Amino acid sequence: RSHSMTTRLGVLLGARCGASAAAARAAAAKRHVASASTVRQALGTATAAPTMLGTEAAVGQKLHGWTCERVEELAELKCMGMLWRHDKTGAECLSVEQPLEENKTFGVVFRTPPESSNGIAHVLEHSVLCGSRKYLVKEPFTELLKGSLQTFLNAMTFPDRTCYPVASCNLQDFYNLVDVYLDAVLHPRALKDPRVLAQEGWHYEVEEKDKPLTFKGVVFNEMKGVYSNPDSLQGRTLLNNLLPDTPYGVDSGGDPREIPNLTFDYFKGFHERFYHPSNAKFWFYGDDPPARRLELLDEFLREFDRKEVTSEIPLQPLWAEPRRVEHSFAVGKDEDISKKSMACVSWVLSEDKPDLETSLALSIMDYCLMGTPGAPLRKALTDAGLGSRVIGGGLYEGVAPPPFSLG
């Protein structure tokens, strides 16, 4: 891409040099005036009262295999937001037209509730980025990190969903990133090559002759590190026991003791169940052409049919009385364990995901109570001298029924 862009630039410069000096100066003057006018106009738009930029989308409109279900002015952001639904698969796309933002962003999210702590959602998140139907290389993700103009490139596993976001200020680079990610999540090489699961999940390894086999793997090794961290282990244990009758009762990242139970058949089946457009939500934000967004997605989604995907998160009935849980964690062989204890109290604040107004109120409350070193609740705990530091983190909105924890 860089070579072709340089070549085109050289041709344009050569043509300009061939023009008369007077024409060149006139053209430059026009460009200067136009640029200054554009800058003043942009600054005026940015500082004046919100003025909404028009959009051709309307509720019920059909475009590139999608139907518009909602159009809303986002006055605080000075842009338009549109919710589209794919006619064939039922996938949702939230498309935000933001002409003031050159950093174009895209994301696809699948709801991926785990059934056990074998780490399937986490392992699959790693594995789909190890080559795909169109991009037959070992690790496209690594190549993109090295060679693209990306401003953000990652993938994240949450307790109930898996997210694949990308961003770039260069339009063609942005389209390339979207293309690679869509092909990766919908047509990964990992479904046909068990070696990807072995590499990213777990495999046996011989370290020394006549020594027992050991477990290795990218996710396996990562989670061994996570489980050796007392704070991380405490947080995971707390969440698992707060919502035991839901997918939050297991570890979506994977427990090193259970990751070796993950089989290739289960791995493929999990992708087939949840990595389907009918279970996907897509997101665009930035100054890229909004119609092209829908066209890009439809090029991938049109080969799928609508599918009923059972991925809803069941409710956890609120308890009638408090419960108490104790767990242990590893310490160094010669460490003094007299000051290695932790205590934490946690509340589940609602039986289901709260509405937006309540979520905002809870976030404000959390910041007021715990958000700064001088916040009253954090300061009271610190001044009480009950321990060396405050733990728990306060409000956690990464799961549907938000808990509030501190200790």
* Dihedral sign from CA coordinates of 30, 36, 40, 42: positive
Give the pLDDT of residue 345. 94
38 pLDDT above the threshold of 90: no
80-123 pLDDT per residue, tens: 999 999 999 999 999 999 999 999 999 999 999 999 999 999 99
Please compute, for residue 166, the number of CA atoms within 13 A of its CA located in the half-sphere on the CB side.
23
Residue 130 or residue 32, greater confidence: 130
215-250 pLDDT per residue, tens: 999 999 999 999 999 999 999 999 999 999 999 999
Question: Which pair of structure tokens corresponds to residue 201?
Answer: 């999940």
* Letter string b/e over residues 242-263, b meaning 16 or more CB atoms within 10 A of that residue's CB: bbeebbbbbbbbbbbeebbebe
Residues 190, 140 contacting (CB under 8 angstroms): no
Average pLDDT across the chain, whole number: 86
37 pLDDT above the threshold of 60: no
Amino acid, single-letter form, for residue 166: V
DSSP 5-65: HHHHHHHHHHHHHHS-HHHHHHHHHHHHHHHHHHHHHHHHHHHSS--PPP----TT-EETT
Contacts of 279 (CB under 8 A, 6+ apart): 110, 111, 307, 309, 311
378 pLDDT above the threshold of 60: yes
Kindly state the average pLDDT of the residues 192-210. Answer: 93
Percent of the chain with pLDDT over 70: 86
Residues catalogued as catalytic: 125, 200
Kindly state the average pLDDT of the residues 184-208. Answer: 95
Residue 238 to residue 327: CA distance in whole angstroms? 10
Residue 289 to residue 299: CA distance in whole angstroms? 16
Locate the DSSP E strands across 240-335. Answer: 280-286
* Dihedral sign from CA coordinates of 133, 138, 254, 266: positive
Give the pLDDT of residue 1. 33
Residue 244 to residue 223: CA distance in whole angstroms? 21
Quick one: which H or E segment has residue 314?
none
330-362 pLDDT per residue, tens: 888 888 888 888 999 999 999 889 999 999 999
Give the pLDDT of residue 29. 40
Could you give the strand order of the β-sheet that contains 403-406, starting from the edge strand earlier in sequence?
345-348, 403-406, 394-395
Residues 293, 82 contacting (CB under 8 angstroms): no
Kindly state the average pLDDT of the residues 46-54. Answer: 38
How big is the chain, counted in residues?
Answer: 407
Give the pLDDT of residue 55. 53
What is the pairing mode between strands 92-97 and 280-286? parallel
- Partner residues linked to 394 by β-bridges: 405
